[in-house]
Amino acid sequence: MVFGTRVLLARQWIKNPAFRKWMYNLDGYNKFGFYQNDLECLGQLPFHPGTEAVYAEALRRLPADEYDRWAFRCIRSAQLEITKTYIPESERITFEEDQTKGRYLEPYVKEILAERKEKEDWQDFLSK
């Protein structure tokens, strides 16, 4: 479950950027070399037939070089797990980088959700 999708009470302290940065470091997925969008993809095979998940379809739509980078990050994290180490502090993904590059799947996800909504709207319209 990703931090951003939980429903939160609208409190000022949660939106404080310093707090968010601290929370990001506490989450700690950057120690494994992951971006935020990678977490949704974990465990979802992109070319598996019948998968309804949105993130799997978004992974399928990635251009080839972006997909290769995702694969590299997964393999690197497996390697870190085996050797029981983390990525050194100096090379970890920073909070700012995660906000921009780490959301690389968002445009594709938005498009997929819009397509699904269009189909559902048509089905509603036809079933009336």
Partner 1 sequence: MISMKISRRPLNALVVKRLLSGQTSPKRSETEALRAPTLKTTSLPSGLIVTSLDNRSPITRIGVIVRAGARYEPQDQLGLSHTLRSMAGFSTKDSTVFGITRNIEYVGGSLTALTTRDDVIYVLENDGNYTDRNLKYLSDTVLQPAFKHWQIKDNLYRQKADLSYYRDSPQLVLIEALHSAAFRGGLRNSIYSPDFMIGKHSTDQLADYVDRHFVSNRTAIVGVGIEHNQLLERVDKWFSTMSRGDRGNSGQSKFVGGEARVDTNSDTTYVAVAAEGVGSKNQKDVLSLSLLQTILGTGPRVEFSDGSHTKLGEAVAKTTSEPFAVSAFNINYTDTGLFGITVAASAQDIHKAVKAAVTQLRASAKSISEEELKNAKHSLKATTLLAAEDQNVLVEELATQSLNAGQVVSLTDYEKAVDSITVQDITGLANKIVKSKGAMACVGKLQNAPYLEDLL
Judged by the rule CB under 8 A, the positions of this chain that interact with partner 1 are 60-61, 63, 114-115, 118-119, 122
95 C-beta neighbours (distance < 10 Å), count: 16
If the CB atoms of residues 53 and 80 are measured against partner 1, the closer one turns out to be: 53
Closest CA to 33 of 82, 84, 70: 70
Minimum distance of partner 1 from residue 115's CB (angstroms): 5
Coil/strand/helix, residue 85: coil
**Spatial separation of the C-alpha atoms in residues 21 and 28, rounded to whole Å:** 11
Cβ proximity to partner 1, 13 vs 125, nearer residue = 125
CB 124, min distance to partner 1, A: 13
**Least CB distance to partner 1 at residue 102 (A):** 22
